[in-house]
């Protein structure tokens, strides 16, 4: 049974408003429009899809050691956390452009259905983390036969 949580909805609205106003000001005027400014996009970028039994999430994690990524699930909320370390470069190098973000990250995503956290599986290949999130039985669609009277 799904329930509506007013505080979760308000928190989600606050995050959306924060994202809408992030980057407003002088920095935006000085940044070329074809480049994404630092911190204007959430990290990691994700794709989420579902079928009748599972929800599938793919997260782009280039340069992140998969063994250092933490995935946690509680009901219908998934949290990805980890750290992307800077590339090994010469300490005396002169940087001309530095667009790849480094440091710790954490992203919490609300999923469209409640998840059976004991059956979640995750694999990482070529910088793409693929997570299969089985829905709980109550969230799976039920086929109901209609009787004839």
Tell me if 93 is assigned to some domain. Answer: no
Look up residue 137 and give its two tokens.
Answer: 């039985």
**What's the token pair of residue 112?**
């469209």
* Residue 95 is assigned to a structural domain of this protein: no
Q: Is residue 70 part of a domain?
A: yes
Number of H helices, E strands in the chain: 2, 7
Domain extent at residue 110: 6-86+102-139
Asked if 79 contacts 107 with a C-beta cutoff of 8 angstroms, the reply is yes
- Domain for residue 148, yes or no? no
Say whether 12 sits in a helix, a strand or coil.
Answer: helix
Per-residue pLDDT tens digits of the chain, which is 149 residues long: 456 778 878 888 888 787 777 766 545 444 444 334 444 467 899 999 999 899 999 999 998 999 999 999 998 999 999 998 887 777 788 878 877 778 899 999 999 999 999 999 999 999 999 999 999 988 888 888 898 98
DSSP letter (8 states) at residue 75: T
In-domain check, residue 16: yes
Q: What is the CATH number of the domain that holds 123?
A: 2.60.40.790
**Could you tell me the pTM of the whole model?**
0.67
Total structural domains within the chain: 1
Q: Is residue 1 part of a domain?
A: no
Q: Contact 71/82 with Cβ under 8 angstroms?
A: no
133 and 75 Cβ atoms separated by less than 8 Å: no
- Domain contains 96: no
């Amino acid at each position: 049974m799904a329930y509506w949580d007013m505080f979760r909805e308000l928190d989600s609205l606050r995050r959306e408003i924060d994202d809408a106003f992030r980057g407003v000001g002088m920095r935006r005027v000085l940044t070329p429009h074809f480049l994404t400014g630092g911190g204007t996009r959430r990290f990691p970028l994700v794709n989420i899809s579902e079928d009748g039994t599972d929800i599938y999430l793919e997260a782009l994690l280039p340069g992140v050691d998969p063994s250092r990524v933490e995935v946690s699930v509680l009901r219908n909320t998934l949290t990805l956390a980890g750290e992307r370390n800077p590339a090994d470069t010469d300490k005396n190098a002169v940087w001309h452009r530095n667009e790849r973000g480094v440091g710790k990250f954490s992203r919490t995503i609300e999923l469209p259905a409640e998840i059976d956290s004991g059956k979640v599986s995750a694999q990482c290949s070529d910088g793409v983390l693929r997570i299969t999130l089985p829905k709980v039985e109550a969230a799976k669609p039920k086929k109901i036969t209609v009787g004839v009277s």
